[in-house]
C-alpha cells in the first residue's frame, strides 16, 4: 500500500511540474499580488482622510505601504525567479522519479515472476486432482457400461459361464437332484417339471456307455437310471448325425453309432419310453439342460465338439423371459411335434419317439447314404459293435445280431461293401440267408414283446 501511495505522490509531482499547471499557478500568484497591492493602496488612501485620529492614520499608512510593498516585491520575484525555480524543481525530482521508475520496473518483474511461480505451483498442485477427476470420469463411464451390462444380464438371467460342459455339469447335477427331490415319486410329470435335455448323443452327459467315463458322467448316469420318469431326452436322429462329422473330426458312422448306443441303453437299461426319449431329425444347434429354474446352454460350434467349449448358465424368473422363451422354443415346442402328421422331414416325422425296439431299428435303417437308401453309412464292424452292445445291455440276451438281421431283411449294405451279400457262408447264401432272416424276425419280435410288457 505504501508503495502504491508513493507512486501516486510522485505522479502528482510530475503532473504539477507540467507547463499547464505552472501557468495556472503563476496566474493565481499574480492575482494574489495584485489584490495585495490594491489593498495597500486603499489603506494608504484611507490614512489621508481628514477627521480620523493621528494614530489611526499612521496605522493605516504603515499597513498600506507594507502590504503594497510586499505584494510588489512578490510579484517581481515571481516574474524573475519562477522559471529558475521550476527548472530546479524538475532537476531535483528527476533522480527521485528515475529511481522510482526503476524500482517500479523491478517490482513489476518480481510480481510477474511471483505470478508465474504461483501459477506453476497451482498447476502442479492441481495436476493430481485433475488426473483424479479424469480417472473418476473414466470410472464413471465404465461403471455406467458395467451397469448397463448388469441390467442386460439380469434381464437375460445370465448367472454364470463355464469353460467346458464338464465343468458346468457338476453344478447342474446338484440342481437336477434338487428338482427330482422336489417332485418325489410323482408320475406322469409335465415336460417343465422334468429335467429336460436336448443333445446330440448325450455322450457328454452320461459318457461312453461301454467305456471309461468321468465321475460326473457316472453320477449323471446313475441319476438318470434311478429316476427315468424325471428326465426327457431329445437326441439328434442318427440319420442326421453325419452333418456334425467333419466339424468334430469323427470317423464316418461314429456319431450314428454313439446315438444308437445311447438309445439302446436308455430304452433297455433305463426303461425309457416314447414319453421320455425322442429323436429330432435335424442337425444339433445347442446342447441344453433345464432343471427347475436353471438352464444350461452349450452351442455347437462349426469347428469343434461342443462339450469342450463355452457353456452359459441362466436362472429363469418372471423378469428373465428371454431365456425361458428360448428354451420353450428349443425344447418344449419341438418336443410337442411328436406324432404330428404335418411336421415331416423327407416324408418322415420330424420328432420320432422310442416306444419299442423296432423304433431304434427304424432309426438305424435311416442312416443311409444320401441318394442311395440301400447303402448304410456305418461300416460292417460298427454294426457288429452295435449288435454286441445290444446283447450286453438289452434284455433280449438271446437275440442274435438284430441290427445285422435288419440289414439282411431290407437288403442294405454297409459302408465299404461293394454289393449286397447276406451274412454267413458265401457258399450257401440262400439257406444261410433264409435262416438268418428268420432269426432276425424272431429277435425283433421278441424285443418288441418285452418292450410292450414293460410298458
Residue 387 and residue 296 share a domain: no
pLDDT value of position 102: 84
- Averaged pLDDT, 59-69: 78
Instruction: Examine residue 10 and state whether it is found in any structural domain, yes or no.
Output: yes
Residue 169 and residue 264 share a domain: yes
Number of domains observed in the structure of the chain? 3
Residue 185 and residue 109 share a domain: no
Residue 216 and residue 175 share a domain: yes
pLDDT tens-digit map of 369-413: 988 999 999 999 999 999 999 988 776 544 578 999 999 999 999
Instruction: Examine residue 80 and state whether it is found in any structural domain, yes or no.
Output: yes
pLDDT tens-digit map of 89-105: 778 888 888 888 888 88
Residue 149 and residue 29 share a domain: yes
Instruction: Examine residue 130 and state whether it is found in any structural domain, yes or no.
Output: yes
pLDDT value of position 450: 41
pLDDT value of position 81: 65
Instruction: Examine residue 348 and state whether it is found in any structural domain, yes or no.
Output: no
Q: Is the pLDDT of residue 224 over 90?
A: yes
Question: Whose grid coordinates read 445370465?
Answer: 158
Report residue 82's pLDDT band, with 50, 70 and 90 as the boundaries.
low
If phi over 0 gives left and psi between -120 and 50 gives alpha, with beta otherwise, what is residue 349? beta
Instruction: Examine residue 365 and state whether it is found in any structural domain, yes or no.
Output: yes
Residue 208 and residue 141 share a domain: no
Instruction: Examine residue 416 and state whether it is found in any structural domain, yes or no.
Output: yes
Report residue 209's pLDDT band, with 50, 70 and 90 as the boundaries.
confident
229 neighbors 185 (Cβ within 8 angstroms): no
Helix locations, 184-287, DSSP H: 203-206, 215-226, 245-248, 254-268
Q: DSSP character for 343?
A: -
Residue 250 and residue 384 share a domain: no
Point out the domain boundary residue: 153, 168, 188: 153
444 neighbors 406 (Cβ within 8 angstroms): yes
Point out the domain boundary residue: 340, 365, 393: 340
Q: Which of 327, 116, 369, 155 is nearest to 242 (CA)?
A: 369
* Other beta carbons less than 10 A from residue 111's beta carbon: 10
Instruction: Examine residue 265 and state whether it is found in any structural domain, yes or no.
Output: yes
- CA distances to 403, 439, 446 from 398, rounded to whole Å, are 14, 11, 10
Residue 434 and residue 317 share a domain: no
Q: Which of 314, 316, 282 is nearest to 300 (CA)?
A: 282
Biggest CA pair distance of the chain = 195
Residue 171 and residue 77 share a domain: no
Strand partners, 196: 232, 290
* Other beta carbons less than 10 A from residue 385's beta carbon: 16
pLDDT value of position 452: 42
Residue 163 and residue 148 share a domain: no
d(CA 82, CA 23): 10
Residue 319 and residue 178 share a domain: yes
Domain housing 126 = 2-153
Q: Is the pLDDT of residue 12 over 90?
A: no
Beta strands 311-315; 294-299: pairing state: antiparallel
pLDDT tens-digit map of 304-314: 778 788 899 99
pLDDT value of position 75: 72
Point out the domain boundary residue: 153, 177, 206: 153
pLDDT tens-digit map of 161-189: 888 888 888 889 999 999 999 887 777 78
Q: Is the pLDDT of residue 67 over 60?
A: yes
- Averaged pLDDT, 108-130: 87
Report residue 38's pLDDT band, with 50, 70 and 90 as the boundaries.
confident
pLDDT tens-digit map of 409-443: 999 999 887 665 544 433 333 334 444 444 444 44
* Other beta carbons less than 10 A from residue 265's beta carbon: 22
Joined together, the cell numbers standing for residue 216 give: 460326473
Residue 322 and residue 396 share a domain: no
Q: DSSP character for 251?
A: P
- Averaged pLDDT, 108-134: 87
Q: pTM of whole model > 0.75?
A: no
pLDDT tens-digit map of 248-263: 788 889 999 999 999 9
Give the distance, in angstroms, between the CA of residue 17 and the centroid of all CA atoms in the same chain.
Answer: 81
Q: What is the CA radius of gyration of the chain?
A: 58
175 neighbors 294 (Cβ within 8 angstroms): yes
Instruction: Examine residue 331 and state whether it is found in any structural domain, yes or no.
Output: yes
* Other beta carbons less than 10 A from residue 10's beta carbon: 17
Amino acid at each position: 500500500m505504501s508503495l502504491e501511495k508513493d507512486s501516486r505522490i510522485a505522479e502528482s509531482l510530475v503532473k504539477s511540474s507540467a507547463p499547464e499547471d505552472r501557468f495556472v499557478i503563476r496566474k493565481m500568484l499574480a492575482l494574489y499580488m495584485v489584490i495585495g497591492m490594491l489593498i495597500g493602496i486603499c489603506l494608504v488612501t484611507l490614512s489621508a482622510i481628514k477627521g480620523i485620529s493621528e494614530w489611526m492614520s499612521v496605522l493605516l499608512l504603515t499597513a498600506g505601504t507594507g502590504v503594497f510593498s510586499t505584494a510588489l516585491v512578490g510579484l517581481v520575484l515571481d516574474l524573475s525567479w519562477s522559471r529558475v525555480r521550476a527548472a530546479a524543481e524538475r532537476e531535483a525530482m528527476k533522480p527521485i522519479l528515475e529511481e522510482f521508475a526503476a524500482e517500479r520496473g523491478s517490482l513489476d518483474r518480481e510480481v510477474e515472476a511471483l505470478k508465474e511461480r504461483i501459477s506453476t505451483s497451482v498447476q502442479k498442485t492441481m495436476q493430481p486432482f485433475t488426473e483424479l477427476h479424469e480417472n473418476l470420469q473414466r470410472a464413471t463411464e465404465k461403471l455406467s457400461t458395467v451397469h448397463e451390462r448388469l441390467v442386460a444380464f439380469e434381464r437375460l438371467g445370465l448367472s454364470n459361464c463355464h469353460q467346458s460342459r464338464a465343468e458346468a455339469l457338476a453344478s447342474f447335477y446338484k440342481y437336477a437332484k434338487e428338482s427330482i427331490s422336489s417332485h418325489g415319486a410323482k408320475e406322469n410329470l409335465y415336460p417343465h417339471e422334468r429335467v429336460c435335455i436336448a443333445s446330440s448323443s448325450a455322450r457328454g452327459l452320461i459318457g461312453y456307455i461301454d467305456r471309461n467315463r468321468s465321475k460326473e458322467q457316472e453320477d449323471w448316469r446313475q441319476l438318470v437310471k434311478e429316476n427315468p420318469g424325471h428326465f426327457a431326452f431329445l437326441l439328434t436322429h442318427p440319420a442326421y448325425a453325419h452333418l456334425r462329422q467333419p466339424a468334430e473330426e469323427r470317423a464316418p458312422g461314429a456319431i450314428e453309432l454313439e446315438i444308437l448306443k445311447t438309445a439302446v441303453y436308455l430304452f433297455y437299461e433305463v426303461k425309457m419310453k416314447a414319453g421320455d426319449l425322442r429323436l429330432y431329425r435335424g442337425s444339433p444347434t445347442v446342447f441344453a439342460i433345464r432343471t427347475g429354474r436353471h438352464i444350461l446352454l452349450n452351442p455347437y460350434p462349426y469347428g469343434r465338439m461342443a462339450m469342450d467349449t463355452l457353456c452359459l448358465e441362466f436362472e429363469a424368473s418372471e423378469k428373465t423371459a428371454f431365456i425361458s422363451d428360448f428354451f420353450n422354443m428349443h425344447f418344449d415346442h419341438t418336443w410337442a411335434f411328436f406324432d404330428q402328421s404335418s411336421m415331416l422331414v423327407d416324408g418322415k416325422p420330424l420328432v420320432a419317439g422310442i416306444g419299442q425296439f423296432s423304433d431304434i431299428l427304424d432309426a438305424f435303417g435311416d442312416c443311409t447314404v444320401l441318394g442311395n437308401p440301400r447303402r448304410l453309412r456305418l461300416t460292417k464292424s460298427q454294426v457288429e459293435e452295435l449288435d454286441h452292445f445290444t446283447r450286453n445291455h438289452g434284455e433280449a440276451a438271446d437275440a442274435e445280431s438284430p441290427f445285422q438281421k435288419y440289414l439282411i431283411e431290407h437288403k442294405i449294405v454297409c459302408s465299404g461293401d461293394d454289393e449286397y451279400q447276406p451274412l454267413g457262408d458265401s457258399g450257401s447264401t440262400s439257406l444261410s440267408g433264409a435262416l438268418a432272416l428268420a432269426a432276425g424276425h424272431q429277435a425283433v419280435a421278441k424285443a418288441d414283446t418285452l418292450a410292450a410288457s414293460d410298458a
